[in-house]
Amino acid sequence: MIIRSSVNINACGKTKLATIIHGTLLLVIVPLIPTWLNTIPLSCLAAILLMTGIKLASPALIKQMWSEGRYQFIPFAATVIAIVFTDLLIGIVIGLTVAIGFILNSSMRRPVRRFVEKHLGGEVVHIELANQVSFLNRAALSRALDEVPRNGYVLLDARSTDCIDPDVLDLIRDFTEQTGPVHGVEVSLVGFRSEYNLEDLIHYVDYSTRELQDVITPQQVAPIRRLWNHLLLM
């Protein structure tokens, strides 16, 4: 399937219609002219497959996967090596197994880190996402968001995250645009990549203003001051 899509793209296919036409042609040709197809030398088919495989694992792609970190590169490298030394199906199964192992390891180690920051403008629930945020993390993230108090502040931090599952992105968008505002929660975002279509946005105030100085009490200032003194001594 991947090779067929790659060939379609290399043949200048750019739309979904090109994919449908390409698949339809294959579906029609294979049962109607199998005798003619069998006359194609296997060496020619092998050469086409080899060139397509080289393009799928080009040096540029290897460099890109390397730059995205070990959680992306190791499953990719394991898949390529397994395909070379076994066959296509076994190699894909091995690659999927390695990838699932990395996802489970990341999910079980630290799915979501949650802590409360004290600012002059109030408390902010800081939710730090894991390196790999898969569908397995959706329940933990949903539970952490549900625990945010009404009319409160929450910061979703993706600065240490390499990959976020689309299902989790949908949850974040839904909470940012609908669920959070309904409960009066101000949702702040930081560190999300441009391809996620989630821009950095800070709603809470982490500095002193005249309005805050007029309403804040000594009891509220004391824990913040102790926190800053602790940080300065570290």
Helix then strand then coil, % of the chain, to nearest 5: 65, 15, 25
Q: Looking at the structure, do residues 116 and 182 belong to the same domain, yes or no? A: yes
Decide which of 58, 90, 107 is a domain's last residue.
Answer: 107
Q: Looking at the structure, do residues 57 and 161 belong to the same domain, yes or no? A: no
Q: Looking at the structure, do residues 155 and 212 belong to the same domain, yes or no? A: yes
The two structure tokens encoding residue 26: 């294959």
The domain of 43 spans: 2-107
What pLDDT is recorded for position 206? 54
pLDDT average per 10 residues of sequence, the chain (234 residues): 65 78 84 86 84 76 79 85 84 88 69 76 82 81 89 88 86 91 90 83 59 52 46 43
Residue 172 in contact with residue 157, Cβ under 8 Å?
no
How many domains is the chain built from? Answer: 2
CA atoms within 13 A on the CB side of 177: 9
- For CA atoms 200, 202, 206, 208, give the dihedral sign: positive
Q: Looking at the structure, do residues 93 and 35 belong to the same domain, yes or no? A: yes
Q: Looking at the structure, do residues 33 and 66 belong to the same domain, yes or no? A: yes
Q: Looking at the structure, do residues 115 and 222 belong to the same domain, yes or no? A: yes
What pLDDT is recorded for position 172? 92
Residue 210 belongs to domain with CATH number: 3.30.750.24
